[in-house]
Structure 1
Amino acid sequence: MSDEARVTGESARGWRFEAIGTQWTIDTGKPLTETERAAVLRLIDDFDREWSRFRGDSTVRALASGGSRPLPTDAEAMFAVYADLGAATDGAVNPLVGVSLEALGYDTSYSLRPGDPISAPRDWRRVLSTGAGALTVSQPALIDVGAIGKGRLVDLVLEYLEDAWPGSLTVDAGGDIRCSGVRERIGLEHPYDPTRIIGVVDLADAALCASATNRRAWGDGLHHVLDARTGMPVRAVAATWAVAPMAMMADAAATALFFDGGAQLARRWGVEWVRMTTAGRVEWSPGFGTERCRAELFT
């Protein structure tokens, strides 16, 4: 059902659909109306129209050559998280990594034909600005918010549904999951064997996000988790999982955990986590598997 985490048991039901290139499941305990479903799809499409580098009509594409566009409502919150991510990882996580991904073949046409690696602009905050109600890019650059964007969108969808339909809710967007008013049992998918899980998390009124190098992978060892400083895929970590109150923070922490400094950032944010190295070693935060984060690892 999802990429690196999956809901198990009777709660794995609900409205299923494809959007932004991934499988969604939304479980509200009772069917949503057509009006509510249409509103959710509109919300997802509006976000995608602003932030997708795969759409020719997106804000991101319009700014690829530089210039200004009206400030997306999410921009300041998202770039504040990126500032934290960049500081914690010494620049390894950077919202201008789109040019690096496209250089390796993960482009608008999904050519998957890699060229020479390109590093992202090191000081992205000099290139990107959010003042005067506009998002401005001062030079040719390509924004990619993949490190946090899906988590942010999960939050937006769940918060809309909480207002429209209070009750038990679970939103799962390809393994980025947030639930409210319900407890879910989530399996942590083994990055090298999708038929196995390495543990489970009991999730209640919280979010679990995951990332793995076996997803969106192509060519000779190429995948979507890049070090923006070099434009090359990471090699030491195979998969990460992070639990936080908000999906955007869990998504951001799951990305940071591929790099030095990620565990320290997660601790500062109060995020519990697990990661598996490419050598098969499993590491986890001190609070993982305690009362603070009910979970079990099969190690």
Structure 2
Amino acid sequence: MHDWVFEAIGTRWTITTPAPLAAPVVAAVGAEIERIDRAWSRFRDDSAVAEMARAGGSHRVEATDQPLLDWYRRLYDLTGGAVTPLVGGTLAAAGYDADYALRPAESVPSVPAWDDVIAGHDGVLELRRPALIDVGAAGKGFAVDRVAGIVADAVDEYIVDAGGDMVISARQQPVRIALEHPLDPAKAIGVVTLDGGAICASASNRRAWADWHHIVDPRTASPAWEVLATWVIAPSAMEADGLATALFLTPAARLRGHFDHHADGFHHVTFRRNGSVEHTAVPGLELFL
């Protein structure tokens, strides 16, 4: 197997295939990642998101990106507003801004309600006023899905891994995946075994500074502290990524009933600050705690 390793959108990517990908496929992957970054990054001045923060108004949404906005609206409704793309201004004020200042302002603003800011999102994102959009809760998973689609057109067997958010092609020989311990990256709390699909993780230790981390509860404009790490298995990385964030802010029992991937709704592992672990009947799950 061949590993193509590179850095993009703030994380390390590894694309594993039986042989090196052809040059046109490599170019297509790079172009799609750049397109997504230019559209949705809040860390570059030339992105569409930066323009929305400056001017508000109407902004065309690529047809390829419509599922991301639709998924955000669904997450917003499922979590009672706890997962929202409007958290960007709060994160920036807390110090997680385009300059990575990591110095919280004296006053961090609350997160506005969706309908107070977003007038529409079908084909055109219509903002009633300027707003700093943040798609960090599901955007990396979305990018992984898009890249996996390009790779799947070229080869039958692959793993696309962006900082632990993965899409795995259907296979006869399952893949064992370690669940990184959120308090010690050199250890794992367990492993899962997958023969295809997507798995995404979220952890409060990955982007932490002062008394903050990057998973903010918009209802309190402060970090979510009860949960330390989550993993979700779903058909797509976008879905798994968004649900992994949602589990920091919303009980799993409230979410699982809205999905029908199997008897448990969707599979997940949730590791809490008190050391307890909640999980469904995840395939091949072994816990080391």
TM-score, L = length of structure 1: 0.89
Cα gap change, 1:245 to 1:111, in 2 (>3 Å): same
Superposed CA deviations along residues 122-169 of structure 1, whole A, max 9, x for unmatched, are 2347524224x4222111211100110000111111111111x13111
Q: Distance in 2 between matches of 1:47 and 1:112?
A: 25
The C-alpha deviation readout for 1:87-122, integer Å capped at 9, x for no partner, is 222211111110010010000000111012222112
Corresponding residue of 1:35: 24
Counterpart of 2:219 in 1: which secondary structure? coil
Q: Which residue of 1 aligns with 2:215?
A: 225
- Look up the match of 2:155: 166
Which residues of 2 match residues 189-204 of structure 1 at below 5 A? 189-204=180-195
Matched positions, count:
280
Alignment of 1:177-188 (within 5 A): 177-182=166-171, 183-188=174-179
1:182-218: per-residue Cα shift (whole Å, max 9, x none)? 3321000000011110111111211110000000111
Tell me which residue corresponds to 2:262: none
1:122 aligns with 2:117: no
Q: Structure 1 CA distance, aligned partners of 2:57 and 2:214?
A: 27
Partner of 1:23: 12
- The more displaced of 187-196 and 75-84 is 75-84
Q: Say if 1:265 and 1:255 are closer, same or farther in 2 by CA, change over 3 A.
A: same
Between the aligned partners of 1:32 and 1:233, the Cα distance in structure 2 is: 41
**TM-aligned CA distance change 1:43 to 1:218, over 3 Å:** same
* Aligned match of 1:109: 99
Q: Residue 130 of structure 2 aligns to which amino acid in structure 1?
A: P
- Aligned twin of 1:142: 132
Shift in alpha-carbon separation, 1:117–1:253, aligned structure 2, 3 A = same
Query: Is the 2:234–2:240 Cα contact (8 Å) retained in structure 1?
Result: yes
Matched residue, 1:155: 145
| Alignment partner of 1:54 out of 10, 18, 43 | 43
| Cα separation, partners in 2 of 1:150 and 1:262, compared to 1, 3 Å | same
CA distance in structure 1 between the aligned counterparts of 2:96 and 2:38, rounded to whole angstroms: 19
Pairwise CA distance, 1:84: 2.2
Structure ranking higher on relative contact order (CA contacts 8 Å, 6+ apart): 1
Shift of 1:228: 1.5
> Separation in 1 of the partners of 2:119 and 2:38?
19
Alignment check: 8 A CA contact 1:54 1:108 kept:
yes
1:68 CA drift (Å)? 1.8
Alpha-carbon distance in 2 for matches of 1:37, 1:88 = 37
Contact 1:95 1:124 in 2 (8 A): no
> 1: CA distance between counterparts of 2:63 and 2:213?
30
**2:87 and 2:218 in contact (8 A); partners too:** yes
Q: Distance in 1 between matches of 2:197 and 2:62?
A: 26
Within the candidate set 254, 272, 295, 2:267 is matched to 272
Identity %: 46
Match of 1:7 in 2: none
Amino acid at match of 1:177: M
- Aligned-partner Cα distance in 1 for 2:183–2:278: 16
8 Å CA contact retained: 1:98, 1:143: yes
Contact 1:122 1:229 in 2 (8 A): no
User: Is the 8 Å Cα contact of residues 257 and 263 (structure 1) preserved in structure 2?
Assistant: no
Q: State the partner residue of 1:295.
A: 285
Unmatched tracts of structure 1, length 5 or more: 1-10
TM-score, structure 2 normalization: 0.92
Aligned-pair distance for 1:253? 0.9
Say if 2:119 and 2:126, in contact at 8 Å, map to a contact too: yes
* Aligned-pair CA distance for 1:267: 4.2
Contact 1:253 1:271 in 2 (8 A): no
* SS, match of residue 258 in structure 1: coil
Distance in 2 between the 1:189 and 1:210 partners?
A: 9
Aligned-CA RMSD value: 1.6
Matched letter for residue 143 of structure 2: L
Secondary structure of the 2:50 match is helix
Q: Letter of the 1:188 partner, please give it.
A: L
Q: Indicate the larger mover: 70-79 or 183-192.
A: 70-79
Shift in Å, 1:260: 2.5
The farther-off stretch of 26-35 and 143-152 is 26-35
